[in-house]
Amino acid sequence: MSKSTLVIGASEKTDRYANIAIHRLIEAGITTYAYGNKAGMVRGVKIHTEIPKSASIHTVTIYISSKNLSVDLQKEIIELKPKRIIFNPGTENTLFEDDLHKAEIFFEHACTLVLLSTRRY
């Protein structure tokens, strides 16, 4: 089963963890989608400025802080009905986590890069 992944907070800036995650997801053979506040491209993956609703998303990995994750964006993520959401270090969001519990969407506090490197993704 493919764990198609949506990276929230994608950036063309090569020093950003979201950018590195896109590279590592592609290297792992995982279908990857990207969402950011600026359109762009990372290793052949288009950075969308709107959530790609037509995609079947297994995992959403978050790389933006709770103060930058708007309520509207949170609702859009829930509407995707992903199997899991990964809150990377520094992105914890208790209010959003409460909504995920209610929506019965699994989430974890983890590092996507570590999960990939230890083959636990």
Domains identified in the chain and CATH numbers: 5-117 (3.40.50.720)
pLDDT confidence band for 114 (50 / 70 / 90): very high
Q: What integer pLDDT is reported at residue 33 of this predicted model?
A: 97
For the sheet with 84-87, list strands across it.
40-42, 45-48, 32-35, 5-8, 59-62, 84-87, 106-109
Each residue's pLDDT tens digit, 39-80: 999 999 999 999 988 889 999 999 999 999 999 999 999 999
SS3 call for 88: coil
Burial of 28 (0-12, 13-18, 19+ CB in 10 A): middle
Q: Which helix (H) or strand (E) holds 81?
A: none
Both tokens of 112, joined, read: 């996507």
Q: Closest Cα partner for 61 from 41, 82, 47?
A: 82
End-to-end Cα, the chain, rounded Å: 12
